[in-house]
A and B are shown apart, each in its own frame.
Chain A
Amino acid sequence: MSALIEIEGVTKRFGAIVAVDDVTLNIAEGEFFALLGPSGCGKTTLLRLLAGFETPNVGRIRIDGRDQTRVPPHRRPVNMVFQSYALFPHLSVRGNVEYGLKVAGVPPAERRRRVDEVLALVQLEGLADRMPDQLSGGQRQRVALARALVKRPRVVLLDEPLSALDAKLREELRFELSRLQHHLGLTFVMVTHDQDEALALATRCAVMHRGALVQVGTPAELYEFPASRLVAEFIGAVNLFEGRVITDAPDHAVIDLPGEGIRAWLDHGTGLPGVPRLWLAVRPEKMELHKRAGGRPAPRMEGTPPGHNVLAGTIREIAYLGSESVFDVELETGRRVRVIRPNLTHWDQEDFGRDEPVWLGWHAEAAVVLAR
């Protein structure tokens, strides 16, 4: 896989603030790449460096093998979908979409054809003569998208493309973005603070924190195998238990969790020899609830010897979300653990009640060990 975008050791400072800190990243042709992170993590600056609105202090940016580090934005083979859409208010939908073709000197007949084509692609036929202030939020989003696609750029940059829309519309446009990117075979680079958006859309994501890349991988890699507590906590919810390694074999490991007074069994080695302090991370939906009332014994969890991976607790809060229920369980130590349980039948939601004593457990292949 040859890289379409090559970012090499790029640093961008604004005064004393390091917005992007020595980032090296390759993005291949046809990828839908997401830059994910909390606000202020430098993801937008990185996108603006790709667009040419900012110039790096150190490092190089190549697109399609050509050095673009100091090329001004109007000469780069990229087009951007702005967060606020930035539609020209004095131009109609057609005027907005054909703007890039017009300044490039494309003859009127071809311009017309290409604008009609891309408007059909984003399902805006018939709205070409509307002004931006006569459009709904979703329609404006589509115009911004059409405007960025019409020049057939090598890379489409999207700055929080769905953040200004309400939840229902967001989901609809999410599928549409995905469909367009796949259909056109273009390379998309998207900035988002919304982990669901990144997981749903991206073929690969980079999690950023304080200007640096923390982890790069597919959505599943980031979710199932986070490399640090930071990534585990930023993408999805997670229960973290501090512990230390007792046994570390190639095919299994045993972690002592002194805070909870139990041991955890993993179906794989930690690969972290000599690390004195680490964390066991278990996602809420990977935890099971079992009845504990009436002195019922602890269940044996799949793939583990008896007594491992099981904690005693009491349900304190229940949030019924329809498709699933979220349980806030208090352990005997007083700390809270979150468990998500799918409601597979109409009656699953009635299985457990508030203040009910329960056993919490997880499979040998459900947890991850983190050293940071």
Chain B
Amino acid sequence: MRGRTDWRREAGPFLALIGLPLAWFLLLILVPLGAVWALSFAINTGVASIEVTGTLANYARTLEPTYLGILLKSLALAGLATLVSLGLGFPVALAIAFAPPPWRTPLLVAVTLPFWTNLLIRTYALMAVLRDEGLVNRVVAALAPDLAPLPLLYHDVAVVVGLVYVHLPFMVLPIFAALDRMDRSLIEASLDLGAGPLATIRHVVLPLAGPGIRAGVLLTFVPALGSYLVPDLLGGPGSQMIANVIERQFRRADDWPFGAALAFVLVYLTLLALALLAPRRPAARA
């Protein structure tokens, strides 16, 4: 029997295959990212001149109450959006995984359908639903004519709704994949041993969907934390997120070093989330 192919023995083909993607990765991702990282340790010396001095002043500034507040708020909004997505996404994934086979593909397509529409258009559509004269408030007005329109748009609620709307497929799909792989006889075994449907979900389905849930949380939380368009269009003055502040530093404030520091705080947080939630290697088998 042949062992696993060793890239060291097949260096030629290996390099030919990996070379271009590697160059792409270095040139277009690592180099610019490195440049921005260097900028985060720089100071503005003139109108258009920047000097990398190794200062930590930019990072110190990110801890000022204004910015720290926005950072915490971003974490809170992204965290809340992730929780809501999980709450909505798990039952949806469960329902699709246990739907009769002919239904599954249409249901999966339905979940991913919004995904094929431009984000900007989807966000504007959501504005139409949430604004004072929008769909939600018209329904409210029809039911309770005396009530003032609910201030949904330009508010944290709108941002969370928007984030959930955008990221729900990223929650549903990995959980569905985990549930779909699960051996159905495990559920039958649980029922057979006297556990009701809810106890079975709690003791068997949830633990076994764990990797899928972790992946879904990661795929929802990380992009939600860095969201720019959704808080920009749906949020009010008080519901800005960190990406909106970063954009302002680079463009309107023209303070690249501070913008870079803020951007890298976001990168550090993302790496932290990855370290906490990324799937671990399964324990070695005996």
Please list the residues of chain A having a beta carbon within 8 angstroms of any beta carbon in chain B: 51-53, 72-75, 78-80, 82-84, 86-90, 99-100, 103-104, 133-134, 147, 151
Are the CB atoms of B203 and A99 closer together than 8 Å? yes
A86 to B182, CA, bound (A): 11
User: B192 and A79: CB pair below 8 A?
Assistant: yes
Complex interface bits, B172-193 against A, C-beta within 8 A gives 1, otherwise 0? 0000000000010110111111
Q: Which residue of A lies closest to B186 (CB)?
A: A86
Report if A73-B188 is in contact (Cβ < 8 Å); known contacts: A89-B208, A134-B285, A151-B194.
yes
- Contact between A72 and B191 (Cβ–Cβ < 8 Å)? yes
Please indicate the chain A residues that have their CB under 8 angstroms from the CB of B191 in the complex. Answer: 52-53, 72-74
Q: Are B285 and A82 in contact (CB under 8 A)?
A: no
Query: By the criterion CB–CB under 8 Å, are B189 and A90 in contact?
Result: no
A305 → chain B closest CB, angstroms:
60
Cα(A136)–Cα(B79), bound, Å: 43
Q: Are A133 and B189 interface neighbours, CB within 8 A?
A: no
User: When chains A and B are docked, how far (Å) is the Cα of A133 from the Cα of B286?
Assistant: 8
We find that the number of chain B residues with CB closer than 8 angstroms to chain A is 20
Q: Which single member of A52, A89, A90, A99 contacts B193 (CB below 8 Å)?
A: A99
Which residue of B has the minimal Cβ distance to A100?
B193
A88-B204, A89-B208 are contacts. A134–B189 as well, Cβ < 8 Å? Answer: no
Among B186, B188, B210, which residue has its beta carbon within 8 angstroms of that of A53?
B188
| Known contacts A51-B192, A90-B208, A100-B194, then 17 further A-B pairs from the complex at CB < 8 Å, ordered by chain A residue | A52-B192, A73-B191, A74-B193, A74-B196, A80-B188, A80-B192, A82-B188, A82-B189, A86-B185, A88-B186, A88-B190, A88-B204, A89-B186, A99-B203, A103-B193, A103-B194, A151-B194
The answer to whether B203 and A82 touch across the interface, beta carbons within 8 angstroms, is no
Q: Which residue of B lies closest to A102 (CB)?
A: B203
State the main secondary structure of chain B at its contact with A: helix
A residues less than 8 Å from B189 (CB atoms)? 80, 82, 86-88, 147
What residues of chain B lie closer than 8 Å to A151, measured between beta carbons? 193-194
Assess the A74–B186 pair: CB atoms within 8 A.
no
Does B207 make an interface contact (CB < 8 A)? yes
Given contacts A82-B188, A86-B189, A74 and B194 within 8 Å (CB-CB) = yes
Tell me if A147 and B188 are in contact (CB < 8 A): no
Contact A79–B185 (Cβ < 8 Å): no
CA A202 – CA B146 in complex, angstroms?
A: 77
Q: Which A residues lie within 8 Å of B183 (CB)?
A: 84, 86
* B111 contacts the other chain (CB 8 A): no
Shortest distance between the CB of A110 and any CB in chain B (Å): 15
Most buried by B among A52, A89, A104: A89
Distance (whole angstroms) from the CB of B135 to the closest CB of chain A: 41
A99 adjacent to B188 (CB under 8 Å): no
30 contacts between A and B (CB under 8 A): A52-B191, A52-B192, A53-B188, A73-B191, A74-B192, A74-B193, A74-B194, A80-B192, A84-B185, A86-B186, A86-B188, A87-B189, A89-B186, A89-B208, A90-B207, A90-B210, A99-B190, A100-B193, A100-B194, A103-B193, A103-B194, A103-B195, A103-B203, A104-B194, A133-B286, A134-B285, A134-B286, A147-B189, A151-B193, A151-B194
CB contacts under 8 Å to A, within B251-286, are 285-286
Task: Indicate which residue in B192, B204, B286 contacts A73 across the interface (CB closer than 8 Å).
Answer: B192
Residue with the greatest number of chain A CB neighbours at <10 A, chosen from B191, B193, B199, B207: B193
| Shortest Cβ-Cβ A-B pairs, 5 listed | A100-B193, A86-B185, A86-B189, A134-B286, A103-B195
- Say how far B251's CB is from chain A's closest CB, in angstroms: 50
Taking the nearest CB of chain B, how far is it from the CB of A156, in angstroms?
A: 11
The interface residues of chain B lying within 8 Å CB-to-CB of A87 are 189
Complex-state Cα separation, A177 to B208, whole angstroms: 31
Q: How many Å lie between the Cα of A162 and that of B189 in the bound state?
A: 18
Asked if B193 contacts A147 (CB within 8 A), the reply is: yes
- Cα distance A74–B204 in the bound complex, in angstroms: 14
Rounded to whole Å, the gap between the CB of A254 and the closest CB of chain B is: 55
Closest to A77 in B: B194
Residue of A with least CB distance to B202: A103
Instruction: Contacts A90-B207, A134-B285, A134-B286 given; indicate if A99 touches B185 (C-beta within 8 A).
Output: no
CB < 8 Å neighbour of B285 from A52, A79, A83, A133: A133
Task: Among B195, B210, B285, B286, point to the contact of A99 (Cβ < 8 A).
Answer: B195
